[in-house]
Structure 1
Amino acid sequence: MNAAQRQRIIRSGWLKKQGGMVRTWHRRWFCLNNDFLFYFAKEDDSRPLGCIFLPGNRVSEVPFNPDEPDKCLLEISAGKGQSRVTSNHETYLLWATSDEERQKWIKDIRRVMYSSFGGAIFGQSLEETMAYEHKLGRKLPYLMEECVNFLTNNGLDVEGIFRLPGRNLLIKELKERFDSAERVVFDSEEVDVHTVASLLKLYLRELPQSVIPADYYQKFMNIALRFQSAQTPDDKHKAIFDLRENITDIPADNFNVLAFLCKFLALVSRNSEVNKMTVLNIATVFGPNIIRNVSEADSAELLMATADITQQLVFMMIEYEKEVFVVKQLDTVPVGNLLDLDPDDSTIVLKPTSLNLMDCITRELFGSGDNNLNCQNLNQLSFDESPSPEDKPVPPVRRKKMGNRRGENRKVVISAPGEELETHFPVEESPDPENQESETTESELTNGRTFMEEMQEKDIRSKFELLEQENKDLQEMKVKQDVKINEMRMKIARLERYIKELSTSNSVIVQRYEARISTMDIAHRTTIKGLQDKVAAEKKSTDEAVKRVMILQTQLQHYHLKYGEIPE
């Protein structure tokens, strides 16, 4: 095996392999490299004695044999449709030094065999598991969905769910089936509720990182501390709001798994009168499975010290799951429009513009095309009292041309609209019939023109009054909008004040947490030192006692040499 191949080694170590005609055990150095398991006579050999091709085969744990209690055996056998693992071996029987080492070998070998088919999920990171599930269009691990669906249909009313253990042999069998990329479907006649619940807990417990990654551990623990030390409902509401704002920062797959799990656990807690599992009980069980620090795996004392805070955090997620797990929408609103109304609000908003009043009204009122008036009609309107030359009525053709009139000083006075038309003529004894006819015709024309002008003026005034009413409505809407803007500004100021208060109290909470950890560490160190001193003192006392015994034995030997043995 060259240097490049050695760098790709997944696992290596000493195992005993059974072989030969008499099936004897031989100690060999095994190396798991890509799809092959190589074995060598010595650790530094470059040429292997043989290799095992793993994909398509199966690996399993050999059951415990009371006649050989020291043997921790694992077997590599042929897969479906095959009769032999290699041309020379039907199976390979390997002997590990301990059960822990055997489990590590089985886990790594299964990862090589089944990871590309969706298997080896126990002990596999959530990211790797979801990389395969995404190819199938799934948003959650299959095992979690199958367990939750079974427990929802069969386990909500079972007393002690998630608290009572399941059957160990059945749990191990189901684990091997899932690790072997088998899509197991639970049957209520074959499995029980406690076994499925224990399998779900085992999957979460064996994740390399908890559902909430360790990078976010301190942030969420601080939130749980604030919730735990809250004195008023407002303080608790602030902590829940902070949790909702920060929970979406974790990876999307972790968020989906956490939201799905907490929604199901909330459903379980609603049946606590029957199943005896309250939110606090469920939080105690699932706390270490949902969030844990990397250092807690090696320190049981640290795990116990932070158990109450972890419990409080999971309690918040389950009790307030509807408020916490809210998916954030992408904010595409420009900065200048942050104080605008909601998109669902139908209120018309007046915005600053460089247009004149008529353009503003046209654009705000008739831009949608719902009104009877349109922009073209508005452009034809004018606020002048006289109509445009194009709109003046065309006078009828006179029957006769007007001649010279005897009353040239005759004038026609048109009064204001709505008043009567007055005409003043000079009084003459004998009017000319031709002039009388022409005067009558001119009076009729003037009468008709005045009537048309009056109608157009009324129409314009009615439209102008309508526009004035619309403008008044817009002004009222603008006032209402200003009130809403002021309310939004007050809310923003209140939020800024809350943020400031949180920032000032954050340092105090962190100091309390650090002081608590420091106190526990000092107590731990003091206890250890006291035990060490006690052991040293006892050792010293023992040494002194041994020295005295040796002195007495020496003196007794001298006495025997000098005086002989003392008779009994």
Structure 2
Amino acid sequence: MRKSLSTSLSDSLNTTRVFGIPLEEVQHSGQPGHEVPLLVRSIVEYIEEHGGLHLGLFLVNGNAERVEWLRQRYDSGVEVNLEKEADLASAVSLLRLFLQELPEPVIPAGLQAQIMQLYQDYSSEEELGRNMKYFLQQLPQVNYSLLRFLCRFLSGVASLQEESWSIGALAAVFGPDIFHLDTDVEDLKEQESVSRILAELLENQEEFFDSEDDDISNTNDYSSINDQEFEISDLTRIYMSALFTCA
């Protein structure tokens, strides 16, 4: 078992909020030399160590009171020991809440529009891959590092739980969190587009993102990801049944 990050997280955050503030500010409160927020890395580490092949890991809501309590502890800078104070459901909910409450989505709105247009208009896989990588490189470094980290984490989950969690299913759950999609609107086409784009990123993350081993958890082998096929109808069903909020 790897050494817990909780102590260093407490030392580095002090009284700095981590929820609902720009990524740059969160990053500055983390460990020097790391561009992925320490909060995110500690939660992912906990999920990787304890999630295993837990069926329905991302389908279960965390207890709202516990999630809010953990959030307040992180925001006040006190030491948080996920091993003793959290469970898998609350850890997943806390991660999603962090993404949802960023003032700007991990992929900013302006770049989202360009990526969606690319995904609608591309004429070849080569063109899609080349332009997608270019657009991703336009992200601020902290956004790029976080998105890369999340894509490799979720790809690893899919590779370990391929019978219960395909890349498409994970993209349907996390797409609205990363893109800040308004889940109250009845625009299934937009929901499907976001999910398909994120699925593309997950399935081809090794091609789209540069390698930075220091930013990536090494618990799982993310190098072999099985091809996942999913129909629009299945994706819609997964989205409507699996999506939950952390409010």
Instruction: Report TM bin, short chain.
Output: 0.7 to 0.9
- SS state of the match for residue 306, structure 1? helix
Report the alpha carbon displacement of residue 260 of structure 1 after superposing the two structures with TM.
0.6
Distance, in Å, in 1 between the alignment partners of 2:20 and 2:85 is: 25
Is 2:118 the partner of 1:243? no
- Conserved 8 A contact 1:124-1:207: yes
Name 1:200's counterpart in structure 2.
95
Q: AA paired with 2:171?
A: A
- Conserved 8 A contact 1:122-1:175: yes
Q: How many residues get paired? A: 201
Name 1:514's counterpart in structure 2.
none
Structure 2 unmatched runs, 5+:
1-11, 213-247
Distance, in Å, in 2 between the alignment partners of 1:263 and 1:253 is: 16
Structure 1 residues 53-452: aligned runs within 5 Å? 117=14, 119-133=16-30, 136-187=32-83, 189-226=84-121, 235-273=124-162, 276-292=164-180, 297=182, 300-301=184-185, 304-326=188-210
Distance 1:133 1:236, change over 3 A: same
Distance 1:321 1:179, change over 3 A: same
Instruction: Return the structure number with greater strand share.
Output: 1
Work out which structure has the larger RCO, using CA pairs closer than 8 Å and 6 or more positions apart in sequence. 2
Percent of aligned positions that are identical: 26
Distance, in Å, in 2 between the alignment partners of 1:243 and 1:327 is: 16
Q: AA paired with 2:108?
A: P
Distance, in Å, in 2 between the alignment partners of 1:316 and 1:213 is: 18
Q: Highest CA radius of gyration, 1 or 2?
A: 1
Q: AA paired with 1:271?
A: L
Q: AA paired with 1:252?
A: Q
- Conserved 8 A contact 2:14-2:78: no
- Conserved 8 A contact 1:262-1:317: yes
Instruction: Return the structure number with greater helix share.
Output: 2
Report the alpha carbon displacement of residue 190 of structure 1 after superposing the two structures with TM.
4.0
Distance, in Å, in 2 between the alignment partners of 1:215 and 1:325 is: 20
- Conserved 8 A contact 2:111-2:135: no
Per-residue CA shift, 1:52-75, capped at 9, x if unaligned? xxxxxxxxxxxxxxxxxxxxxxxx
Q: Could you state the TM-score of these two structures normalised by the residue count of structure 1?
A: 0.33
Q: AA paired with 2:179?
A: I
Distance 1:161 1:256, change over 3 A: same
Name 1:465's counterpart in structure 2.
none
Report the alpha carbon displacement of residue 303 of structure 1 after superposing the two structures with TM.
5.4
Report the alpha carbon displacement of residue 207 of structure 1 after superposing the two structures with TM.
0.8
Q: AA paired with 1:243?
A: M
Distance, in Å, in 1 between the alignment partners of 2:130 and 2:57 is: 30
Distance, in Å, in 2 between the alignment partners of 1:240 and 1:248 is: 12
Report the alpha carbon displacement of residue 300 of structure 1 after superposing the two structures with TM.
3.5
Per-residue CA shift, 1:440-480, capped at 9, x if unaligned? xxxxxxxxxxxxxxxxxxxxxxxxxxxxxxxxxxxxxxxxx
Distance, in Å, in 2 between the alignment partners of 1:209 and 1:241 is: 25
Per-residue CA shift, 1:408-464, capped at 9, x if unaligned? xxxxxxxxxxxxxxxxxxxxxxxxxxxxxxxxxxxxxxxxxxxxxxxxxxxxxxxxx
- Conserved 8 A contact 1:151-1:197: yes
Q: AA paired with 2:51?
A: G
Q: AA paired with 2:67?
A: I
